Amino acid sequence: MEIWDAFNKSADAFSPNILRVSFMPSLPVLVLNSGSSSIKFSAYEAGNCERRKLHEGAVDGIGTDLGTFWIKDAEGKKLIDQSPALPNRAVAFKLVADALHSGQFPPPAAIGHRMVSGGPTVKENQLITPALIDEMESYTAFAPLHTPIAVYIMRQALLLFPGVPNFVCLDTYFHRTMPEEAWHMPIPEEYTAIGVRRYGYHGLSYESIVHQLAEQTPQRLIVAHLGNGASITAIRNGKCVDTSMGLTPTGGIISGTRTGDIDPGVLLFVLRRIAAETPNTADAADKLEAFASKKAGLLGVSGVTNDMRGLREAIAQGDPRARMAVTLFTRTVAKWIGSFMAVLGGLDMLVFTGGIGENDIASRAEICAGLGPLGIVLDPTRNNVRGEALISAESSFVAVRVIPPAEDLMIVNHVVRLLQK
């Protein structure tokens, strides 16, 4: 499938009611996607049906003396390639804003921000106002690694691009269709009432897979987004019915540095040990969070790295802890696939996406190795690819595909729809 064709078509399908009545000329739309130590951005010429990449770039290594800052044009030619000191996010975002104001790039007519969580009250993609930023910031606990930098970038974008409409696009939005039995956690009602529930994340990635599949979206679809953060989602007729991440992106599948779902007794055991030597409650909470979100997962088990490429190298050298970390990961993904087949009542298609899903041939093979009795059989030759492909065997009842995510294009789609409102 040609991704641009799919998006140009899906842009049309995305908001048919609005598109029938309002024509929008092509405008440069900037997409901002911030991580804990990086700010990625891309710009597209976008109209009713057109999506054309103009440029993309990133500042990476925030908090270090030797970061990177680059911008490439649509053909991949580097227009800026620097190694600046990036002591903090203010310096990092100023580099981006100054470059975009330099006259070398068309000024954005609208900006779309990826936001992991808007908490229990900010559920819709919408125009950003200072009050909305304050509201989202008050829910930092729902995505503590992601929210602080995202709200900082939003405030700066309102200041540095005056008069340009900014829109928030939420990773939780795709999961809004989950039935209550999927989002309701088995906890006392007083906590459910204040928003403790399953939200689900990576929603822009999942939406982008459904949009790329377009009319090929089957009735029963499971998408496994396997990157440094990993999650899996059950989709019926293009809509989310269940997902693995919970209140925060720490839940669900074991990932780079996160536990995923774990016996609550483990957290209580660790908390009691921390509390014995940490009198301040807030400090104890921070230490528990570091245990579950930053030091656990593939990194914690292997003691080597959170990065799958590094783990595969360690396994090749016979490292048993790296082997155990990856086995826990692939086994957990296989278990979630089986449980979501129970939720969906069978399966028509399984899609792998994310850095590991797209590129780690061995992980896909290991995940699917025991799923033959469930109708999932890979073709080893077809699976020997990186990037988009059909990788299931002819005999497989379930089609298995690899499809790269296209979150930025999804954000552009949302921005165009919101501009037309």
> CA–CA separation, 117 vs 355, rounded Å?
22
**Which C-beta is closer to ligand AMP: that of 78 or that of 309?**
309
State yes or no: residue 297 binds ligand AMP (CB under 6 A). Answer: no
State yes or no: residue 60 binds ligand AMP (CB under 6 A). Answer: no
Q: Does residue 338 contact residue 371 with C-beta atoms inside 8 Å?
A: yes
Among 125, 355, 406, 412, binds ligand AMP (CB under 6 A): 355
Among 210, 356, 368, 400, binds ligand AMP (CB under 6 A): 356
CB of 405 to ligand AMP, least distance (A): 8
Which of these is catalytic: 81, 171, 286, 379? 171
State yes or no: residue 36 binds ligand AMP (CB under 6 A). Answer: no
Q: Which stretch binds ligand AMP (CB under 6 A): 60-68, 81-89, 109-117, 355-363?
A: 355-363
Among 56, 171, 207, 360, binds ligand AMP (CB under 6 A): 360
Region class of 180: left (phi > 0), else alpha (psi between -120 and 50), else beta? alpha
**Which C-beta is closer to ligand AMP: that of 112 or that of 354?**
354
> CA–CA separation, 343 vs 232, rounded Å?
13
Among 110, 308, 410, 411, binds ligand AMP (CB under 6 A): 308
CB of 26 to ligand AMP, least distance (A): 30
CB of 79 to ligand AMP, least distance (A): 23
State yes or no: residue 118 binds ligand AMP (CB under 6 A). Answer: no
CB of 229 to ligand AMP, least distance (A): 6
- Dihedral angle of Cα 120, 241, 229, 168, to the nearest 10 degrees: -40
Among 261, 307, 313, 348, binds ligand AMP (CB under 6 A): 307
CB of 100 to ligand AMP, least distance (A): 24
CB of 201 to ligand AMP, least distance (A): 12
State yes or no: residue 407 binds ligand AMP (CB under 6 A). Answer: no
# binding residues, ligand AMP (CB under 6 A): 10
Cβ–Cβ contacts within 10 Å for residue 291, how many?
18
State yes or no: residue 388 binds ligand AMP (CB under 6 A). Answer: no
Site string for ligand AMP, 197-236 (x = CB under 6 A): ------------------------------xx--------
State yes or no: residue 396 binds ligand AMP (CB under 6 A). Answer: no
Among 78, 94, 273, 309, binds ligand AMP (CB under 6 A): 309
Does residue 283 carry a catalytic annotation? no
CB of 337 to ligand AMP, least distance (A): 19
CB of 146 to ligand AMP, least distance (A): 13
Among 354, 392, 410, 411, binds ligand AMP (CB under 6 A): 354
State yes or no: residue 86 binds ligand AMP (CB under 6 A). Answer: no
**Residues taking part in catalysis:** 171
Using CB under 6 A, list all residues that contact ligand AMP. 227-228, 307-309, 354-356, 359-360
